[in-house]
Amino acid sequence: MLSASNLPRQTMSTSHAAAAAESTLSLGSVFSDKPIEQFAAGSPLFWEGDKAKHVFEVVEGVLRIFKILSDGRRAITGFLYPGDLVGVSMRDLYLYNAEAVTPVKVRRFASVAFQEAINLSPELRPQLFAKLCDEMASAQDQMVLLSRKNAEERICSFLLMLAKRMSRDNNLSMNIEIPMTRLDMADYLGLTIETVSRTITSLIGRGIITQSGRHDISIKKLDTILRLAGHVEADEPKSAPREYSRQAVWPT
Amino acid sequence: MLSASNLPRQTMSTSHAAAAAESTLSLGSVFSDKPIEQFAAGSPLFWEGDKAKHVFEVVEGVLRIFKILSDGRRAITGFLYPGDLVGVSMRDLYLYNAEAVTPVKVRRFASVAFQEAINLSPELRPQLFAKLCDEMASAQDQMVLLSRKNAEERICSFLLMLAKRMSRDNNLSMNIEIPMTRLDMADYLGLTIETVSRTITSLIGRGIITQSGRHDISIKKLDTILRLAGHVEADEPKSAPREYSRQAVWPT
DNA sequence: CGTTAACTTGAATTTTGTCAATGCCTGTGG
DNA sequence: CCACAGGCATTGACAAAATTCAAGTTAACG
């Protein structure tokens, strides 16, 4: 599993001492002595069902991980950026496909050796654990998106996600580079390319975003995007919430 | 995060020695000296945004974890069964709500102490790690369901999931007890109660399942359910799969 | 045994998907 | 460096699936 990613991506520390060093050991440094491998855009790193022999660290570019239903429908479950790990799990086989979206550079590490390195380092362990938890958190957000948001809300949420990844620190970038195609976006957002296209056109028409080339979008009305993304509530709902049951009783 | 669950649920070992014991130490045994607490159906264990002070182990009953959008829409991201853990994460606050679906018995453990216990035990660590990975795997399956399956496929997949949980070992039970309401199912499957109801009615009408009370369903045509659940492909697709691009080139 | 929440069913509406045609980038090769 | 082809994206008209709104019906619980 693991294809951890998301918010707090630590900067890749350049390899100082050998693996034994215990000081500023970061997850990325486990890979630092491995050679860089390149994958062309569109090429697979591995397929679902392959023996899970390796863990990869993304150094440059973007990956997609996805599953295919028996009739060919594809669901992309995540996009991976530099600093993310691919293929971490305790299973014998990979549970999903991994492909390069753009030209990609990765480092490769044998799964068993990786497990050992993690297990032996009381410094690395919590880092990996935290990554897993972050990944789980964003998987849940994605489930919320897929189960309850409409097309426009999905697109806005997606743009915000990309905007977050664009900039270091925590403030969003207003200029978004979209490395993937409309088909990738559709298969990630549970829509069709046509709906993705129409929705983006509509956002442009209302002056909420502008476009300069298919893969470059600028946010013009951030507040509107934020609202349309339908962020999960902090405290009190705007409209009266649905009622769920009145049986709620305190624990004994 | 963590609300690990799913397939390989280990049997709860009765507490033998104190926490230091290194023999058949299972994750559950960490909690075994804590008192049992009860929650009535519908009552909350905690809310999103609460200080994440505790980790819970489900001993009996079923929980739902969910998020609420600002306008009141609810998305249930998981149901938790005995043996599952709730509230494991590295965050300061809970990221979701947890409520009892049925009357529930749990044990409670302070988050910090739990982290320590895990960190100190080279036996527990991989167990927790494996749970997290399993949870991630089923989160991905749920994303596939929500992004690409139609109502009927979602219901059949859901029934199969329940059937798996019903029986020990790995063979499905043909008699399914559905502890949650149609509304819970709808909010978990990204549908409305009406669609859930109609779909179940349709399955009954075709003799694929039968019903004896709203919360008890029997599978009559397992093969049909399996097919309708649209299980992810093993090898070759039935119909010609969509083409994705022809650029695919092997890595350098 | 009655009340009321939970569920089912039907009809109308909305959203998104499908099919089809056209337009526009982008990257390749001249 | 430019032209051109093919892939990718947009747009439109129509269809299908699911949602919404509105009654009814059933069954769970006190």
d(CA A221, CA A142): 23
Same domain, B11 and B121: yes
B6 pLDDT above the threshold of 50: no
Same domain, A167 and A108: no
Same domain, A185 and A107: no
Q: Are B158 and B217 in contact (CB under 8 A)?
A: no
Q: What is the DSSP string of A68-133?
A: EBTTS-EEEEEEE-TT-EES--SSSB-SSEEEESS-EEEEEEEHHHHHHHHHH-TTHHHHHHHHHH
A9 pLDDT above the threshold of 80: no
Q: Who contacts B198 (Cβ-Cβ below 8 Å, separation ≥6)? A: none
B53 pLDDT above the threshold of 70: yes
Same domain, B81 and B161: no
What are A70-113's pLDDT values in tens digits? 999 999 999 999 999 999 999 999 999 999 999 999 999 999 99
User: So what's the pLDDT on residue B12?
Assistant: 39
* A183/B contact by beta carbon, under 8 A: yes
**Which of A88, A108, A139 delimits the end of a domain?**
A139
d(CA A133, CA B202): 39
* A71/B contact by beta carbon, under 8 A: yes
Same domain, B121 and B11: yes
Same domain, B95 and B151: no
A14 pLDDT above the threshold of 80: no
Q: Are A80 and A196 in contact (CB under 8 A)?
A: no
β-pairing, B36-39 vs B63-68, is unpaired
d(CA B74, CA B72): 6
In angstroms, what separates the C-alpha of A205 from chain B's closest C-alpha? 25
Residue B207 resides in a domain: yes
Give the best residue of B60, B70, B131, B192 to mutate against chain A (max A CB count within 10 A): B70
d(CA A58, CA B224): 41
- Pick A252 or A24 by higher pLDDT: A24
* A36/B contact by beta carbon, under 8 A: no
Q: Which region among A243-247, B145-149, B182-186, B202-206 has the lowest average model confidence (pLDDT)? A: A243-247
Residue A10 resides in a domain: no
Output the domain CATH number for residue B4.
Answer: 2.60.120.10
User: So what's the pLDDT on residue A24?
Assistant: 64
What are A132-150's pLDDT values in tens digits? 999 999 999 999 999 999 9
User: So what's the pLDDT on residue A247?
Assistant: 52
Q: Who contacts B4 (Cβ-Cβ below 8 Å, separation ≥6)? A: B84, B85, B88, B128, B131, B132, B134, B135
Same domain, B68 and B116: yes
The domain tally of chain A equals: 2
* B120/A contact by beta carbon, under 8 A: no
d(CA A211, CA B165): 49
Q: Strand C: list protein residues with Cβ under 7 Å.
A: A 150-152, 190-192, 194-195, 213-215, 245-247; B 181-183, 193-194, 196-198, 200-201, 211, 214-215
Mean pLDDT of A198-202: 98
**Which of A117, A139, A161 delimits the end of a domain?**
A139
d(CA B196, CA B214): 12
Residue B247 resides in a domain: no
- Pick B32 or A146 by higher pLDDT: A146
d(CA A35, CA B83): 42
User: So what's the pLDDT on residue A78?
Assistant: 98
- Pick A235 or B87 by higher pLDDT: B87
What are B152-162's pLDDT values in tens digits? 999 999 999 99
Compute, in degrees rounded to 10, the torsion defined by CA atoms A217, A221, A222, A224: -120
Pick from A71, A119, A242: CB nearest B238: A71
Between CA B215 and C1' C8 the distance (Å) reads: 15
Residue A39 resides in a domain: yes
Same domain, B71 and B167: no
* A60/B contact by beta carbon, under 8 A: no
User: So what's the pLDDT on residue B168?
Assistant: 75
Query: What ranges in B32-149 are assigned the alpha helix state H?
Result: 111-120, 124-148
* A251/B contact by beta carbon, under 8 A: yes
Same domain, B21 and B77: yes
Q: How confident is residue A171, by pLDDT bands cut at 50, 70 and 90? A: confident
Phi, psi for residue B186 in degrees, rounded to 5: -60, -45
User: So what's the pLDDT on residue A245?
Assistant: 59
Residue B54 resides in a domain: yes
Q: Domain span at residue B30? A: 1-125
Same domain, B33 and B78: yes
Residue B134 resides in a domain: no
Reading phi first (left if > 0) and then psi (alpha if -120 to 50, else beta), residue B87 is in: left
What are A181-192's pLDDT values in tens digits? 999 999 999 999
Specify the DSSP element, H or E, that contains B44: strand B44-46
Residue A12 resides in a domain: no
Mean pLDDT of B36-47: 96
Residue B74 resides in a domain: yes
* Residue whose pair of structure tokens reads 């709620």 in the numeric block: A248
Same domain, A134 and A188: no
Question: Quick one: how many helices (H) and strands (E) in chain B?
Answer: 6, 11
User: So what's the pLDDT on residue B15?
Assistant: 42
Nearest nt to the CA of A192 via C1' is: C17
- Pick B202 or A236 by higher pLDDT: B202
Nearest nt to the CA of B194 via C1' is: C8
> Nearest Cα to B6, choosing from B98, B63, B80, B61?
B80
User: So what's the pLDDT on residue B13?
Assistant: 42
Mean pLDDT of B138-149: 98
d(CA B88, CA B92): 11
Q: Do B241 and A68 make contact, defined as CB atoms within 8 angstroms?
A: yes
Mean pLDDT of B4-20: 43
Q: Do B144 and A77 make contact, defined as CB atoms within 8 angstroms?
A: yes
Same domain, A125 and A165: no
Q: Are B29 and B80 in contact (CB under 8 A)?
A: no
Enumerate the residues of chain B whose CB falls inside 8 A of the CB of residue A223: none
- Pick B112 or A239 by higher pLDDT: B112
Output the domain CATH number for residue A179.
Answer: 1.10.10.10
* Residue whose pair of structure tokens reads 């599953």 in the numeric block: A67
β-pairing, B54-60 vs B104-110, is antiparallel
Look over chain B and give the mean of its residue pLDDT values, rounded to a whole number. Answer: 86
